[in-house]
């Protein structure tokens, strides 16, 4: 049938539009999907919430990375007798791997980055090397005045600020 003959045969008949009037059993599912989509990281609201939560999430990711870093540092210095600066390089690098993965896939997942994963990883490595240098300098300067674990904790405070600023503005932007 041609469109004109279909239209003329349907004139005067009530036709329900399934798109405009979903069945009652579907309404609940549609409402749940709409609620989910409004909070998803791809919606405007989801992106705003993710940006607000990013510093807190970054801190939680940092806490897990710091726990890995400090634990490995302590084991290497106290139990294996590795020099503190060498132990710092190993422990910091291990925590940094954890940090990259969690920040990419959790903290900054809602950001529509212009960079691919390879470029993000390269920038992350540059940022973490800069932070490792800063942390090592802080430890080297603090070691004459305090135990190695205390010097490590001081270096963490300093590098947290630098790492967040560079990660949020450079790596995951």
What does the pLDDT look like over 5-36, one tens digit per residue?
554 555 555 555 445 565 665 555 555 545 54
Q: Is 42 a domain residue?
A: no
Domain of residue 166: give its range.
54-171
Q: Is 2 a domain residue?
A: no
Domain count, the chain: 1
Q: Is 144 a domain residue?
A: yes
Q: Is 105 a domain residue?
A: yes
Q: Is the pTM of this model over 0.85?
A: no
**Helices and strands (H and E) in the chain: how many:** 6, 0
In terms of Cβ atoms closer than 10 Å to its own Cβ (0-12, 13-18, 19+), residue 17 is: exposed
Q: What is the pLDDT of residues 78-125, one digit of tens each?
A: 999 999 999 999 999 999 999 888 877 887 776 656 667 788 888 889
């Amino acid at each position: 049938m041609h469109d004109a003959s279909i239209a003329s045969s349907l004139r005067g008949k009530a036709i329900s539009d399934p798109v405009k009037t979903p069945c009652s059993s579907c309404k609940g599912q549609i409402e749940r999907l709409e609620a989910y989509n409004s909070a998803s990281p791809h919606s405007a609201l989801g992106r705003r919430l993710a940006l607000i939560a990013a510093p807190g999430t970054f801190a939680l990711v940092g806490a897990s990375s710091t726990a890995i870093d400090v634990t490995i540092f302590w084991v290497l210095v106290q139990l294996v007798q590795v020099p503190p600066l060498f132990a710092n390089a190993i422990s910091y690098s291990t925590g940094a791997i954890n940090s990259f993965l969690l920040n990419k896939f959790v903290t900054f997942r809602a950001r529509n980055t212009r960079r691919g994963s390879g470029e993000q990883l390269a920038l992350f490595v540059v940022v973490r090397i800069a932070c490792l240098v800063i942390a090592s300098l802080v430890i080297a300067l603090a070691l004459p005045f305090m135990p190695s674990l205390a010097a490590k904790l001081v270096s963490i405070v300093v590098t947290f600020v630098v790492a967040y600023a560079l990660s949020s503005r450079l790596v995951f932007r």
